[in-house]
């Protein structure tokens, strides 16, 4: 039996004991996960520096804070999320208990990516634990140092219920041959298809957190200086290796020079004149990606940057101007610090450009006009839309995070993670009395019965509203009674 098969079997055996169901157990595991990130802060920071040249503070800011927030939220809201959710009834079921009961799915496979290796691997795990599942966690082998730290997770969590399997493609493929109750994958769309194919063999549901090219439209009617500060931050953070980084800019030709000028100023302000020796500027994860990204710049005109050093996987913050839609850099997600500017003739053409391509994970628009923003929202589709900023939607736990179409399927963060990794079970509890009401559905199916069925089934009953009406009626009756007594005196 392979190591992967063993891990899944043990997790399933643990799940079948039922011990992950009580909320106290889940809360304890979530607290232990928090303990892990607290006690292993230094190990995580060192690993992250080796993998991606991230500083300890950047690791805290962009990996740990969000994860901590998700754990805190799940701990404080778990009782509410896990409780039965009453629903509206029809007249036929008015006397019954009708509700949704979230229940664990079983064993969840979490496959993480390397760019924010802690956040994209452990945030789905928070959802899996909160929802009462067992889990097998497969960190990305590409961020190998961070994966090594995650191997220590079972020292903190129930080691039979939560397994960490490290390794590369063969190990992931062996895992994917096993039967899971849900697969939560973060990574490229190409591998996402393989994951979905493997899952289909067992009819396992999937969440696919994928990537793609996220456009950024700059309207001429906006504060270009502020827009460029926010875009520069969103693009060059983690050396452009952020799934929701603005991939390319769309703008009119008459503002292109100003955009380039402002981005140049921001690069200098944020990363100095020498980003290579600046601590807060990252590195490309490995030489394969370095070569891939450098090749994408071929045939385009350089406006800013362009320096690189393969031995260090360093690529300077770079902007390309007057990029044509057919150029190499526009054929795939860049996932690096290269920012192409594509010229369009206004909003309508920008919308058409976006709609002719795959639905993006994020869509950014910078404009002072509410009308322009509203038009972009109503005439395009994307996982998320952010106006006048970049990336920040990721920080709001109440917003579902995920793609649409080629950028992914499913969503997570906060309660969405809990729901995504739960089965929302429909429950209807009837009593064995009042059999007369059921005559209508038993044969013979007469016209009279059909008439009653129409009334009883098509009429939705909003019990909360009924209760309100009843309360108002009682108050009115009381008031009438008091007034009458008062008048009689
Ligand atoms: P990666 O190479 O780390 O792959 C992700 C996972 O897939 C790894 O665990 C890896 O072992 C596994 N894998 C790779 N090839 C496989 C194969 N042939 N069969 C089975 N498993 C395989 O990461 P990546 O794909 O380079 O990640 C970058 C992509 O992820 C980008 O497109 C980015 O936009 C996307 N991403 C999306 C999100 C999101 O939340 N939507 C977050 C981070 C990254």
Task: Look at residue 461 in the predicted model and tell me its pLDDT.
Answer: 67
The region of weakest confidence among 115-119, 132-136, 182-186, 474-478 is: 474-478
Which tokens is 296 given?
Answer: 């994408």
Top-level class of domain 215-402:
alpha beta
Contact 259, 343 (CB under 8 A): no
Buried-state track 333-356, b at ≥16 Cβ within 10 A, e below 16: bbbbbbbbbbbbeebeebbebbee
* Pocket residue to mutate for ligand 1, from 70, 120, 187, most atoms within 8 A of Cβ: 187
Q: Is the pLDDT of residue 31 over 90?
A: yes
- Please report the pLDDT score of residue 486 as a whole number: 64
Q: What is the largest CA-CA distance in the chain?
A: 99
pTM of the predicted structure, to 2 decimals? 0.93
Which numbered atom of ligand 1 lies nearest the CA of 383? 41
Least confident of 64-68, 210-214, 328-332, 449-453: 449-453
Task: Report the pLDDT value the prediction gives residue 347, as an integer from 0 to 100.
Answer: 98
Atom of ligand 1 nearest to the CA of 142: 3
Rounded to the nearest whole angstrom, what is the distance from the C-alpha of residue 191 to the centroid of ligand 1?
7
| pLDDT given for residue 379 in this prediction | 98
Tell which residue, 7, 332, 308, has the closest CA to residue 161: 7
Q: Would you say 106 and 135 are in contact if contact means Cβ atoms under 8 Å apart?
A: no
The pLDDT score that the predictor gives to residue 297 is 96
Write the pLDDT tens digit of every residue in 135-186.
999 999 999 999 999 999 999 999 999 999 999 999 999 999 999 999 999 9
Q: How far apart are CA 52 and CA 44, in angstroms?
A: 12
Beta bridge partner(s), residue 304: 319
pLDDT over threshold 70, residue 489 = no
Q: Is the pLDDT confidence value at 45 over 90?
A: yes
Specify whether the CB–CB gap between 386 and 393 falls below 8 A: yes
Q: Check if 111 has its Cβ closer than 6 Å to any atom of ligand 1.
A: yes
CA of 438 to the centre of ligand 1 (A): 54
CA of 463 to the centre of ligand 1 (A): 47
Q: State whether the beta carbon of 188 lies less than 6 angstroms from ligand 1.
A: yes
- For residue 172, the CA-to-ligand 1 centroid distance in Å is 11
Mapped onto helix, strand or coil, the DSSP state of residue 187 is coil
Q: Which of 65-74, 90-99, 369-378, 470-479 has the lowest mean pLDDT?
A: 470-479
- Which of 66, 67, 113 to mutate for ligand 1's pocket (most ligand atoms within 8 Å of CB)? 113
Mean local confidence (pLDDT), 39-62: 95
Strand pairing of 248-251 and 301-304?
A: unpaired
Residue 375 Ramachandran class (φ > 0 left, ψ -120 to 50 alpha, else beta): alpha
Q: How confident is the model at residue 17 (pLDDT cuts 50, 70, 90)?
A: very high
pLDDT of residue 459: 75
Active-site residues, by number, are: 209, 243
Question: Would you say the CB of residue 142 lies under 6 angstroms from ligand 1?
Answer: yes
CB distance 258 to 251 below 8 Å:
no
Mean pLDDT of 444-454: 92
User: Residue 436's pLDDT is what?
Assistant: 87
- How confident is the model over 210-220, as a mean pLDDT? 97
The reply to whether 215-402 shares the fold of 3-210+413-424 is: no
Q: How many angstroms is it from 287 CA to the middle of ligand 1?
A: 16
**Section 412-424 average pLDDT:** 98
Return the CATH number of the domain spanning residue range 3-210+413-424.
3.40.605.10
Give the CA distances from residue 283 to residues 5, 240, 256, 334, in Å, rounded to whole numbers and listed in that order.
Answer: 35, 9, 28, 14
Q: What is the mean pLDDT of residues 201-216?
A: 98
CA–CA separation, 462 vs 459, rounded Å?
10
pLDDT at 313 > cutoff 80: yes
Q: Are 320 and 339 in contact (CB under 8 A)?
A: yes
The number of the ligand 1 atom at minimal distance from the alpha carbon of 195 is 20
Place of tokens 């429909």: 426
* Distant-in-sequence, close-in-space partners of 409: CB < 8 Å, separation ≥ 6: 206, 207, 208, 402, 403
Which pLDDT band holds residue 479 (cuts at 50, 70, 90)?
confident
- CB burial of 112-124 (b: ≥16 within 10 Å; e: otherwise) equals bbbbbbbbbbbbb
Cis peptide before 57 (omega within 30 of 0): no
Number of alpha carbons in the 13 Å side-chain half-sphere of residue 79: 2
What is the rounded distance in angstroms from the CA atom of residue 195 to the CA atom of residue 52? 26
Q: How many residues does the chain have?
A: 489
Q: Does ligand 1 lie within 6 Å of residue 114's CB atom?
A: yes
Domain ranges (residues) in the chain: 3-210+413-424, 215-402, 437-484
Helix (H, G, I), strand (E, B) or coil at 348: helix
- Residues 390-407 have pLDDT tens digits of 999 999 999 999 999 999
User: HSE-up of 417 (CA within 13 Å, CB side)?
Assistant: 30
Closest by Cα among 13, 240, 199 to 109 = 199
Q: Which residue has the tokens 């493609």?
A: 169
Query: How many angstroms is it from 263 CA to the middle of ligand 1?
Result: 29
Strand partners, 422: 104
Least confident span in 375-389, 430-444, 464-478: 464-478
Q: Which atom of ligand 1 is least distant from the CA of 140?
A: 9
Residue 377 neighbours by CB distance under 10 Å: 14
Is ligand 1 within 6 A of the CB of residue 333? yes
Phi, psi angle pair for 84, to nearest 5°: -60, 140
Specify the ligand 1 atom closest to the Cα of 171.
11
Q: What is the pLDDT of residue 487?
A: 65
The pair of structure tokens assigned to 345 is 């003739």
Q: Are 43 and 150 in contact (CB under 8 A)?
A: no
Residue 361: CB within 6 Å of ligand 1? yes
| pLDDT value of position 433 | 92
482 has pLDDT over 70: no
Mean pLDDT of the chain: 95
Q: Is 284 a pocket residue for ligand 1 (Cβ < 6 Å)?
A: no
What percent of the chain stands above pLDDT 70?
Answer: 97
């Amino acid at each position: 039996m392979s190591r992967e098969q063993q891990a899944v079997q043990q997790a399933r055996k643990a799940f079948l004991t039922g011990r992950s169901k009580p909320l106290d157990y889940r809360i304890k595991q979530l607290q232990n996960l928090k303990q892990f990130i607290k006690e292993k802060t230094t190990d995580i920071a060192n690993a992250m520096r080796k993998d991606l040249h991230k500083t300890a503070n950047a690791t805290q800011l962009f990996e740990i804070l969000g994860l901590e927030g998700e754990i805190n939220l799940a701990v404080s809201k778990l009782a509410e999320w896990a409780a039965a959710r009453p629903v509206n009834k029809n007249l036929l079921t008015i006397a019954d208990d009708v509700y949704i009961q979230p229940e664990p799915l079983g064993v969840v496979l979490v496959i993480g990516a390397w760019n924010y290796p802690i956040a994209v691997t452990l945030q789905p795990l928070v959802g899996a634990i909160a929802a009462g599942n067992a889990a097998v966690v497969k960190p990305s082998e590409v961020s190998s140092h961070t994966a090594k730290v995650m191997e220590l997770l079972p020292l903190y969590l129930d080691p039979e219920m939560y397994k960490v399997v490290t390794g590369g493609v063969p190990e992931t493929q062996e895992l994917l041959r096993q039967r899971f109750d849900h697969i939560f994958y973060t990574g490229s769309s190409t591998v996402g298809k393989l994951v979905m194919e493997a899952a289909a063999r067992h009819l396992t549901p999937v969440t696919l957190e994928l990537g793609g090219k996220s456009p950024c439209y700059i309207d001429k009617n906006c504060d270009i200086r502020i827009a460029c500060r926010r875009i520069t931050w969103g693009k060059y953070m983690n050396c452009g290796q952020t799934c929701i980084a603005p991939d390319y800019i769309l703008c009119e030709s008459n503002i292109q020079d100003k955009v380039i000028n402002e981005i140049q100023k921001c690069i200098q302000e944020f990363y100095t004149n020498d980003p290579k020796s600046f601590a807060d500027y990252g590195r490309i994860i490995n030489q394969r990606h370095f070569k891939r990204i450098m090749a994408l710049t071929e045939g385009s005109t350089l406006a800013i940057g362009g320096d690189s050093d393969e031995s260090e996987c360093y690529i300077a913050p770079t902007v390309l101007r007057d990029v044509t839609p057919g150029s190499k850099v526009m054929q795939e997600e860049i996932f690096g610090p290269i920012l192409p500017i594509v010229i369009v003739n206004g909003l309508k053409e920008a919308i058409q450009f976006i709609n002719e391509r795959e639905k993006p994970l994020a869509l950014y628009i910078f404009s002072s006009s509410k009308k322009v923003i509203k038009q972009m929202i109503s005439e395009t589709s994307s996982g998320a839309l952010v106006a006048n900023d970049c990336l920040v939607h990721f920080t709001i736990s109440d917003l579902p995070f995920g793609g649409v179409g080629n950028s992914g399927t499913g969503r997570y963060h906060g309660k969405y993670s809990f729901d995504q990794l739960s089965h929302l079970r429909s429950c209807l509890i009837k009593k064995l009395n009042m059999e007369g009401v059921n005559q209508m559905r038993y044969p013979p199916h007469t016209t009279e019965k059909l008439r009653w069925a129409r009334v009883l089934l098509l009429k939705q009953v909003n019990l909360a509203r009924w209760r309100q009406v009843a309360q108002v009626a009682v108050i009115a009756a009381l008031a009438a009674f008091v007034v009458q007594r008062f008048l009689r005196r």
